[in-house]
Each structure stands twice: as C-alpha cells, then as structure tokens.
Amino acid sequence: MSVILFYYQLYVIFRCSQDKIINGVESCKNRLECFASSTSNFTQCAIRHARPIRLCERCVGYYMDVLKAHEDILKAHDEGGHACKMELVNLDRLQVIEGAFNYVHNLWQRGQCNSCFVANDNGTLTPQLSNITTKFQQLYSDTQNCFNTFYNVTSKKYDPAICANCTDKYCSLNKYYEALKADTGEGIVCMDIVDAMNSTRTKWSKVLGCHIPEPKAEILLIISVVLTSIAPVIFYVAAKRYSGKAESRLLKQRRLSLQFNGPSASGS
Amino acid sequence: MRISGRTATFCSVNKKMRDRSYSSSGEEEPLIRNQNKIISYGAQENCPSGGSTSINADPVILASSESQLPKGKYVLETVEHGSLNVISAKFESLDYDICENHLLLEEERTKGYKFIVKKNFARWFIFLLIGMLTALIACVIDITIEELSHIKYKSLKNYVDRCISENCLYIPYLIWVISNMIPVAIGSLLVAYVEPIAAGSGIPQVKCYLNGVKMPRVVRIKTLVVKVIGVISSVVGGLAVGKEGPMIHSGAVVAAGISQGKSSTFRRDLRIFKYFREDHEKRDFVSGGAAAGVAAAFGAPVGGVLFSLEEGASFWNQSLTWRIFFASIISTFTLNVVLSSYHGHPGDLSYAGLLNFGKFENISYDFFELPIFVIMGAIGGLLGSLFNHINYKLTVFRMRNIHARWMKVMEAVMVAAFSATLGFGMMYFLNDCKPLGQDPTSNPIQMYCGDGEYNAVAAIWFQTPEASVRSLFHDPPGSHKAVSVVVFFIFYFLLSCWTYGLSVSSGLFIPSLLTGAAWGRLVGSGMASILPSSGWVDPGKYALVGAAAQLGGVVRMTISLTVILIEATGNITFGLPLMLTLIMAKWTGDFFNEGIYDIHIQLSGVPLLPWEPPPLSYNMYASEVMSHPVVTLNTVESVRRIVHVLKSETFNGFPVVDPQGDVKMCQTFRGMILRSQLIVLLKNKIFNESAEIWNCKQPSIKMFRDEYPRYLTIQEVDVTEEEMKFTVDLRPFMNPSPYTVQHSASLPRVFRLFRALGLRHLAVVNDTNEVTGIVTRKDLARYRVWRHRGRMGLEHLAISEKI
C-alpha cells in the first residue's frame, strides 16, 4: 500500500515538473496538486529531521519545490486566461493555501536556514551548501569520527582516553563555530550548525565528561574582592567619625503671637 | 511694662477672635492699634523719633527687645541636617500671579486679537519642538548607553571566557570594576562639582518646580548637559540605576529652554517667544516637557500626560492637557522614527522592539488570580516602604556626614566598584547553568558551566538593568534557578537602595522594576511548582505584577504607573490587575511612610504645598498664619530706603502703602511690588528727580521682561550717594490690585486661594484695608499633615537658614 502511495507521489512530482516543460498553460487544479504534494513532502522531511536538527540541509529541495509551486499558483493562468490566484487564493476564510505556505516559510525562516546555503546574486536560494557550512560539516564529522573511534560497542561506553585524543578536533570545531558566530552576528547562524554544535558541546561535557570546570580559588581575585568590599565600610566609618556636625540655624519666624509672648518672656 | 500691657490686650482679642461671631469692626481695634508695631521705613522718614523703632535696627530684634544672637534673625536652636520637619529658607516661590500694573495695561492696549492667535500658534509650535527635542535627547541617551554597554559587556565576556581556562579571573574582575568606576567617576565629578541639582532622578525637583518653588538652576542648560552625560555614565558604569527619571528632567529643561527663546548660559537671545517669558507660561511648558520625557523614556504618551498630571503639575487645565498630549505623542513618534531606523527597521513605527518592556503575547488572567495580585500588591507596598525607610536613613546619614564633594564622588565610585563585585560574586558562587539551546541572552557566559551551557546569573548581570527587566519578563519558564533569583532579589534590593541618593544622575524606576520582577518571578515559579498542571501560571506575568507592586510601593504613583506599564508592555487587557496591584501597594506603603520622592523633598526642606489644606484647621486664622511685622514701602519712596530694605530683608514682595503723616495714622494698602521690580527700577534709574532722562525712553514692561529670569542682586546694582536722596514713584509699577484676605479668614480659605492661584504673596488686611501681615508659601507650608500607621495629625515645621 505504502509502496503504491510512494509511487503515486513520485508520479505527481514527476507530473509537476513535466507539466512545466510541456505546457505553459496548465490547469489551476494541477498546480494546486503540485503545491499540496510539495508541502507535504517538506513537512515530512522537516519532522523526520527534527532531532537532531538537519532540517535545512536535508529539506532544502522540498522547500524550493514549495516556493516554486506557490509562486506558480500566484502567477499562472489557466486555459481560460483566469489567474489561478483568483480561483484558489483569498476566496474563503480558512485560507488553506496561504496558511500552509506560511507554516513552511516560517519554519524555514526561524531556523535561519537560508544562511546555510549559497544565495544567488538576486538573493534567491540555491540548494548548494555554502563554504562555511561545508567547512563546519567537515570539522563536525572529524569530531564525530574521533568520538566514534573511542566508542566501545560491546560495553557501550566511551574510552576515557577520548578526552585527551579528541580535544584538538573538538577545540577546532568550537573555535570555528565561535568565529562564525562572531562574523555573522547573534542569531543568524543556520539552525543545523547551531544544533550540531550545542549537542556536541553537551556531549563533550555531560556524556564524555571531558570538560567539567571547577571554581578555583585565585588569591589575587580574593584580595581584590575583599578590598573593594571593605572600602565602603571604612569610608562610612571614617565619614561618621571625622565629619563635622552638619547643622543649620533655625530662623526666627515673624509671628503675631511672638510679638507679645517673646518680649514679655525676655523683657520682664 | 508697656510690653506686658500690650500682651494682655492682644490676648483678649485673640480669645474673641476664636469666636467668629465677634468679628465686627469694633473688636479689631487692638489689631489696628498694633499697626504701629509694623516696621514701616516710610514712617521713620517723616517721623524719625517715632516710637521705639530705629531705622537701622532689624525688625525682628525690635520685636524681641535686645537680641541674644549677633544677628537677630535666628533663634538659639539649631537643627541637624536630615530633619524631616524643617523648611529651608533658601527656597523662593515663583511668580505665577501676573502683575497688572500700568505697564502691562499699556502693552495690552497695543495688542489686538491677532496677537492672541499668534501666541496660541506659537504655543503649539513650542510643544511640537519640546516633543521632538526631548525625544532626540532620549535617543542620544538610549543609543549611547546601548552601544557603550554592548562594547563593555562583549569585551568582559571575552575576558571571562578566556580566563576561566587560564585561571586569571582577577583580570576580568578588575576590568569590570574599573570599567564601572571610570564612567561613574566622570558622571559623579560632573554632578558633584558642576551641577549638584542634576543628582538623582530629577523627578522631585521637577515636582517642586511645578508646585511653584523656584528650584535654583533646575531648568538650566548646564543641568541638562550634566544630566545627560551623568545618566549615560551611571548606566554604562553598571550602577543599579535607570535612565527614565533623568529623561523626565531633561524634558523639563528642554521645555523651559525652548519656550523662552533665549539662553542665559550662552548669552544668546533669539528675540522670539518673548511673551512666554514669565513663570506662569514656563510652568505649563515644563509640565509638557516632563510628560514628553516620560513618553520618550517608556514609549508611553498617555502615561506621560498622566504622570505630569499625577506626580508633576500642581496646576492644570483642559487645553493644557491636549497640548501636553500632543507633545507626548510627538515625542514617542520621533523616538520611534529614530530608534526603528537604528534597529534596522526604518519607517516601521510599530516595530515590537520599540516597546520598552517587550510585548506580552496573549497574556491572560482569571478571576481567581485577582486576590493573588492584591496580595502581591501588599507585598510590594511592604517592600517599598522598607526600601524608603532604609533609603531615608541612608540619606540622613549622607546629609550629616558626607558633605565634601570629593567624598560624594568617592562614595559613588565605591558603590560602582561594589556593584561589579556583587555581580561577580553572584556569578562565581551561583552555578546556575542553563543549556544554550534557546539562547535568550546576547552575551552568554559559560563561567563554570559545562560546554554548551551558560550561566543564567551572569546573563542577568551582563546587560543594562533595563534589558534585565525585559529578560525577567519574557524569559521562558525555568530560565533561572529559584535560588539565584532569591539571591539576586535580596542583593539588588539593597544595592539599588544604596545607590539612590548618590551624587550621580540616576533613575529609580528600572531598579525598582527589576527588584520587583525578580520576586514576582519567584512567586510565579513557586506557584508553578505547587500547581504543576495549571496552565495559567506564567512567571513572566507574575514578574510584571511584582515589578508594578515594587515600583508602586516605592514611588506611590497609581494612575500614571498603571498606564505607563500598560503602554510599555503593549497590553491593555492587563490594566485591571496592574491597577489592583498598584492601589494595594500604595495603601500598604502609605500606612508606614511616604513615597520616596516626598521623603527626599521633605529632607531637602522644600516648602511644597499639598493639594488640600490641612484638615480640621478652620479654627486657625490668617492672623496666626501670616508673618507679622511687615516691611512696607510708601507709594513714593526714597531710594535710600528701598536700597536699605532690599539689603536688610530677604523678602521678595513688599506691600505698598499710602504715606502717613503721623505714625498713628492708617497705612492704607495700595498695592504690592516685587523685589525684582525694585531692582529693575534702581538699575534703570527710574527716579522722580531724573524723570526727563528716562521719560523719553518710556519705561515699558519689556524692561522688566528682559531681565527675566535672572535678576541682579541688590549688591550688584550701582546706586550713587547722590541718587540715594532721590525718590521713586512705585505706583505705575506695583500691582495695584493684588489678592488680599481679611485677617479673620480661616487657614483653609487662605490656603485654597494661595494654592489655587499659585500666589507668592498674599497680603492680610484688616477692616480698614491696612496691611497687618503677609502670607507666603513658607507660612502655609509649615503646617504639614503627617500620617503614620493609620494615625494622623498636624505638625508645625521650623524654618531653617539653609540646608
């Protein structure tokens, strides 16, 4: 059953691409079919590669299909010369097509996936991985290979020697990532890379136990902390001790009652 | 003998005056008789040997026979600084009352309705300028702080990251300490040595100014410069301060500056807006400036108007509201235009990053949560009053023991160093590690966390306090360990309390919000752990309520704070919880003490007049309230006497009376003349004897207006010995119809007249229109109502020389 379904999908994809070539004017129904299949392909792909995230790298083809199918719907006309846009989009409040497209588009954007790939001069996406990505993947697979060589399959444990031996590879990966982040700025690194790095780091610290930093007492630090903490106390004590009395004289108020009470007190 | 006899007669009269039915003219005879005790310099001219007075003697000494002190102005007591029940004599009132003398009438005649239209148009134009300039200054502050902090924390992060592995943590620590100390030292030096009034948030000062107290130098351009540089340096210097209060003060200075069309500091007169050169007009513009400042600080235009109404202005009218709102909207708009292009979204004015505390998406609350908010409000009130009490004690200590300017600078620098130490200590000891995955922080610091994790405490400290508020509001649940939030709350509470009142420009809003957000978040996450299955517990929501409660407990504002928080979070549905919280915070806090601004105003001895007269005071009469021996001037007065009076008295207004042939004769009240007017007269030598010289120049109101707002002192006016013999006719220059009250008027009546009209001098007359006394601001402000733990009463304040 699933095999049949698979072939049907292949057929639809095939037909989509064939249609473009054979016939410039195609029915809007077919285009809708194209969009449906490409969206579902992308969604399947995205979910399959949700953990660990490889969404950008693996699903870029499907994503571009969705973009193309969507653009077709917006631009194309059917035999009668009606715009497909008028027949398919903006007719009801459910807005299935736009909703589906937005879901795909937002997912892609939130993952900053565009930055994984080379962009055309006009800014459109190409499925070609950028140099940065390939370099990172190279370093990443080096590190993973190194990890794997120290993995004991029978005891399902990592050899403790892993830390000493893989440090170079891990550090160069780490350094490359930091440099990448510094270059591109915060938050616009492709999600594949970010996730790969995060999981590697966690593995390095938590699973492999290679980097467990311990607070160390530094004598210089302690001295300077103590000094800055004591300084205010000394300052306030000294201020209290040596400051003169801050007083101001009270003014005699000119009151009618004082006119009579005051002189009688001092005068009599 | 004579003296005691008079006492007896007056006492009996006083007794009768208690009963209002007795106040017919016949009963007042002793009062009239008492007129000869009024020290009238005019009288001595005609009758040099009249009575026991002599011309050179100080009037008060005369009243109290031989004085005990070298200068008879003082009583024997002194008061230590930092006393709440003393008014400082150095504060003067502003002249809101327009002097309707002949010159004004003459000027009025030359103007038509065209002038009124022009003036109204100019007024709108000025409010437009106020809004724009205030916003631009706010942008400068905002962007500079953001850029400098970014550089600072970025490099600190790099040092920390490097030094964790190389064991050189003292280097980032010292860099942090020094990068705190240097900016704070710059700001503090400026404040301490250049313009001390730029210290603190500026809100109390603006409030006093708008109440009608002449705060020296509060709206000068020098103050603005010091304030702007000061606030940038104290926020960049990592103190527990915000930039909001100083922005409000900046707005006020901008307003006062623009509306005058001239700057005394730069000695430039643009010769525009001359008709706005009076205290009354300036006051209205300053209200607008303060509102524009709030609007720029929080992106809250309505909140700005309400702030100006609630906390600032003491005088308000409908058309002013509309203009102030205009200025606020313009201010927010200008700020959004500039900041949206700064953030890379030019032209997008609804860009969410412009909301100060970030947008709360789908914040919702249920009916049963309202009691929780009320309880949180009460907690906020308690914490706020504790904050105020600690800060009050600290301020008193500072006033008494830290006088020298270098000591103030040193204190500020030490607090800056300690702030860094505190932050560092918390990062060091609280190992609150969170995985990097969701990345809510821009400078994640690993410290002693594993790889792929960051220190959540460091994330709070390595940003400006405002950004920290935003993260406490919006970080997803579980971003911080409860322990680290508790420790942060306790220390930040104390640190911000310690910081407020230093000799730096600093706002109080952000540190209070941050403290409140910390404990609010704790409440939220505590409830989430008790009720794990409930979907309504959102730590961010409770952080917002906690922040509101804490700030409300400290500053005791209600309506404006509610609206400011609604606008700064872009969430109008949350208005009711915020309001409940703030009301509860205010009531709880007021049970113990007053708001922090009021405490600081009282400590500095400003004679602020509250909205209402003291209750239960109808049995106090004007004759008790007024200052009694009044220095009067004759309608035609000799120059020698004027100079002498101005030199020996500190009063600013003098009743003008008919000259008397005989001491016993009545001195009918003719009008009121101000010290500033007398000085202008002397300076321009408007003497009767030299009339032919100045008559061709036609003395006009312009002569007085040009001197505004900084008049010469009498010592600076040159009067030759020959001119001393001349005389001046005061009648064309005095205010011929000043407000007066009968001496039998009650205190509430006097108070309301004085307060509502914004008077400076209110003459007290008897039935035959003779001046028996004068009521000034200090005479009224010395009656103050205190409230404490549900009890209240009236206290009489002393007046001291200077604080």
Tell whether A229 lies on the interface with B, counting CB pairs under 8 A. yes
CB contact under 8 A, A206 and B65: no
B387 in Cβ contact with B497 (< 8 Å): yes
CA distance B550 to B565: 13
Residues A136 and A191 in one domain: yes
CB contact under 8 A, A213 and B623: no
Which residues on B lie below 8 Å from A175 (Cβ)? none
For residue B592, what pLDDT is reported? 93
Task: Please check whether residue A260 lies inside any domain of the structure.
Answer: no
Residues A53 and A149 in one domain: no
CB contact under 8 A, B450 and A212: yes
Residues A135 and A56 in one domain: no
For B90, name the nearest residue in chain A, comparing CA atoms only.
A251
* Cα B191 to the center of its chain, rounded Å: 17
CB contact under 8 A, B81 and A260: no
Residues A136 and A68 in one domain: no
Which residues on B lie below 8 Å from A252 (Cβ)? 60, 64, 72-75
- The residue of A211, A220, A221, A236 whose CB has the most chain B CBs within 10 angstroms, and thus the best one to mutate to test that interface, is A221
For A225, name the nearest residue in chain B, comparing CA atoms only.
B421
Query: Is B59 or B359 the better-scoring residue by pLDDT?
Result: B359
Which among A225, A243, A264 is the nearest to B4, CB-wise? A264
Which among B402, B421, B624 is the nearest to A225, CB-wise? B421
Which among A213, A216, A249 is the nearest to B801, CB-wise? A249
Which residues on A lie below 8 Å from B402 (Cβ)? 239, 243
Percent of chain B with pLDDT over 90: 39
Q: What is the mean pLDDT of residues B559-578?
A: 88
* Cα B494 to the center of its chain, rounded Å: 24
A247: amino acid identity, one letter: E
B526 in Cβ contact with B263 (< 8 Å): no
Tell whether B435 lies on the interface with A, counting CB pairs under 8 A. yes
Interface of A with B in 119-158 (CB under 8 A): none
Neighbours of B263 (CB within 10 A): 15
Pairing of β B669-674 and β B740-742:
unpaired
- In order, the DSSP letters of B35-81 are GGGS-BHHHHHH-TT-TT--TTS-HHHHHTSS-SSSSTTEEEEEEES
Task: Please check whether residue A10 lies inside any domain of the structure.
Answer: yes
Which residues on B lie below 8 Å from A247 (Cβ)? 78-81
CB contact under 8 A, A202 and B10: no
Output the CA torsion sign for B491, B493, B496, B499: negative
CB contact under 8 A, A231 and B417: yes
Which residues on A lie below 8 Å from B77 (Cβ)? 249-250
Residues A163 and A62 in one domain: no
Which residues on B lie below 8 Å from A231 (Cβ)? 414, 417-418
Tell whether B721 lies on the interface with A, counting CB pairs under 8 A. no
For A249, name the nearest residue in chain B, comparing CA atoms only.
B78
Closest CA to B641 of B51, B53, B56: B56
B674: amino acid identity, one letter: L
CB contact under 8 A, A198 and B435: yes
CA distance A139 to A132: 11
* Cα B195 to the center of its chain, rounded Å: 15
pLDDT at B164 over 90: no
Which residues on B lie below 8 Å from A267 (Cβ)? 3-4, 65
Contacts of B755 (CB under 8 A, 6+ apart): B314, B609, B611, B613, B780
Which residues partner with B735 through β-bridges? B672
B422 in Cβ contact with B491 (< 8 Å): yes
Closest CA to B517 of B495, B500, B539: B539
CA distance A221 to B776: 60
Structure-block tokens of residue B16: 């009768």
Contacts of B698 (CB under 8 A, 6+ apart): none
Q: What is the mean pLDDT of residues B565-588?
A: 90
Same topology between domain B128-354 and domain B367-603: yes
What single-letter DSSP state applies at residue A159? -
Specify the 3-state DSSP secondary structure of B772.
strand
Contacts of A178 (CB under 8 A, 6+ apart): none
CB contact under 8 A, A246 and B81: yes
Task: Please check whether residue A172 lies inside any domain of the structure.
Answer: yes
CA angle B744, B745, B749 (to 5 degrees): 170
CA distance B763 to B626: 9
B590 in Cβ contact with B323 (< 8 Å): no
What single-letter DSSP state applies at residue A203? I
CB contact under 8 A, B78 and A249: yes
Interface of B with A in 436-475 (CB under 8 A): 436-437, 439, 442, 446-453
Residues A97 and A150 in one domain: no
Helical ranges in B299-369 per DSSP H: 301-307, 318-342
Q: Chain B closest CA to A103's CA: distance in Å? A: 19
End-to-end CA distance of chain A: 123
Q: What mean pLDDT value characterizes chain B? A: 83
CATH superfamily of B2-97+620-800: CBS-domain (3.10.580.10)
Per-residue burial over B131-162, b = 16 or more CB atoms within 10 Å of its CB, e = otherwise: bbbbbbbbbebbebbbebbeebbeebbebbbe
Per-residue pLDDT tens over the stretch A154-180 = 777 777 777 777 788 788 888 888 787
Structure-block tokens of residue B507: 């706002």
Structure-block tokens of residue B611: 């909205």
Which residues on B lie below 8 Å from A211 (Cβ)? 450-451
Where are chain B's structural domains? Answer: 2-97+620-800, 128-354, 367-603
Helix H or strand E segment including A247: strand A247-251
* Residue B392 pLDDT level (bands cut at 50, 70, 90): very high
Q: Is B349 exposed, middle or buried (0-12, 13-18, 19+ CB in 10 A)?
A: middle
Per-residue pLDDT tens over the stretch A208-255 = 777 666 666 678 888 888 998 899 999 999 998 887 777 788 887 878
Q: What is the mean pLDDT of residues B328-346?
A: 89
Tell whether B18 lies on the interface with A, counting CB pairs under 8 A. no
Closest CA to B674 of B653, B659, B656, B695: B653
Task: Please check whether residue A188 lies inside any domain of the structure.
Answer: yes
Name the pTM for this structure. 0.83
Structure-block tokens of residue B597: 């601004």
Which among A174, A211, A248 is the nearest to B802, CB-wise? A248
Task: Please check whether residue A69 lies inside any domain of the structure.
Answer: yes
CATH class, range B367-603 = mainly alpha
Domain span at A18: 2-110
B761 in Cβ contact with B776 (< 8 Å): yes
CA distance B577 to B547: 12
Task: Please check whether residue A195 lies inside any domain of the structure.
Answer: yes
Residues A180 and A103 in one domain: no
* Residue B351 pLDDT level (bands cut at 50, 70, 90): low
For residue B3, what pLDDT is reported? 39
For residue B454, what pLDDT is reported? 80
Which residues on A lie below 8 Å from B453 (Cβ)? 201-202, 205
Beta carbon pairs, A and B, within 8 Å: 200
CATH superfamily of B128-354: Clc chloride channel (1.10.3080.10)
Specify the 3-state DSSP secondary structure of B242.
strand
Helix H or strand E segment including B764: strand B761-765
Which residues partner with B213 through β-bridges? B93
The CA–CA distances, whole Å, from B219 to B226, B285, B758 equal 12, 11, 19
Task: Please check whether residue A134 lies inside any domain of the structure.
Answer: yes
For residue B37, what pLDDT is reported? 40
Interface of B with A in 354-413 (CB under 8 A): 397, 399-403, 407, 410-411
Secondary structure percentages of chain B, helix, strand, coil, to 5: 60, 10, 30
CB contact under 8 A, B170 and A220: yes
CB contact under 8 A, A252 and B64: yes
For residue A21, what pLDDT is reported? 40
CB contact under 8 A, B65 and A221: no
The CA–CA distances, whole Å, from A185 to A21, A182, B442 equal 42, 5, 10
Contacts of B622 (CB under 8 A, 6+ apart): B741, B742, B743, B744, B745, B746, B747, B749, B750, B764, B773, B775
Name the domain count of chain A.
2
CB contact under 8 A, B6 and A267: no
CB contact under 8 A, A263 and B77: no
Residues A171 and A78 in one domain: no
Closest CA to B150 of B179, B170, B174: B179
Tell whether A220 lies on the interface with B, counting CB pairs under 8 A. yes
Give the E-state strand segments of B313-462 in sequence order: 433-435, 453-455
Per-residue pLDDT tens over the stretch B198-215 = 998 899 999 999 998 988
Per-residue pLDDT tens over the stretch B73-125 = 667 677 888 888 888 888 988 888 888 888 888 888 888 899 999 999 999 99
Per-residue pLDDT of chain A (268 residues; tens, 9 = 90+): 455 545 545 544 555 554 444 444 567 778 888 888 889 888 888 888 888 888 888 888 888 888 888 888 887 776 667 777 777 777 778 888 888 889 888 888 888 888 888 877 777 777 778 888 888 888 888 888 887 777 777 777 777 777 777 788 788 888 888 787 777 765 577 888 888 888 888 777 777 777 666 666 678 888 888 998 899 999 999 998 887 777 788 887 878 776 665 543 333 3
CA distance A102 to A94: 13
Q: Chain B closest CA to A141's CA: distance in Å? A: 18
Q: Chain A closest CA to B422's CA: distance in Å? A: 9
Contacts of A176 (CB under 8 A, 6+ apart): A135, A136, A139
Which residues on B lie below 8 Å from A214 (Cβ)? 448
For residue B403, what pLDDT is reported? 86
For residue A142, what pLDDT is reported? 84
A159 in Cβ contact with A152 (< 8 Å): yes
* Secondary structure of B666-697 as H, E, C letters: CCEEEEEEEHHHHHHHHHCCCCHHHHHHHHCC
Of B218-222, B289-293, B689-693, give the lowest mean pLDDT range: B689-693
The CA–CA distances, whole Å, from B160 to B148, B165, B166, B423, B534 equal 18, 9, 10, 13, 40
CB contact under 8 A, A205 and B800: no
For residue B35, what pLDDT is reported? 40
Which residues on A lie below 8 Å from B428 (Cβ)? 215
What single-letter DSSP state applies at residue A120? P
CB contact under 8 A, A228 and B177: yes
Per-residue pLDDT tens over the stretch B704-754 = 887 777 788 888 888 888 888 888 888 888 999 999 999 899 999 999 999
Closest CA to B311 of B292, B291, B284: B291
Closest CA to A140 of A186, A92, A177, A191: A177
For residue B440, what pLDDT is reported? 52
* Secondary structure of B174-223 as H, E, C letters: HHHHHHHHHHHHHHHHHHHHHCHHHCECCHHHHHHHHHCEECCCCCCHHH
Measured over all CA atoms, what is the biggest interatomic distance in chain A, rounded to whole angstroms? 126
Q: What ipTM, to 2 d.p.?
A: 0.81
Q: What is the mean pLDDT of residues B49-61?
A: 35
Is the previous residue joined to A52 through a cis bond, with omega within 30 degrees of 0?
Answer: yes
B703: amino acid identity, one letter: M
Which among B437, B451, B801 is the nearest to A248, CB-wise? B801
What single-letter DSSP state applies at residue A211? -
Task: Please check whether residue A96 lies inside any domain of the structure.
Answer: yes
CA angle A64, A68, A70 (to 5 degrees): 115
Which residues partner with B505 through β-bridges? B200
Length of chain B (residues): 803
Tell whether A217 lies on the interface with B, counting CB pairs under 8 A. no
Pairing of β A117-119 and β B86-88:
unpaired
Sole residue written with tokens 């208005």: B575
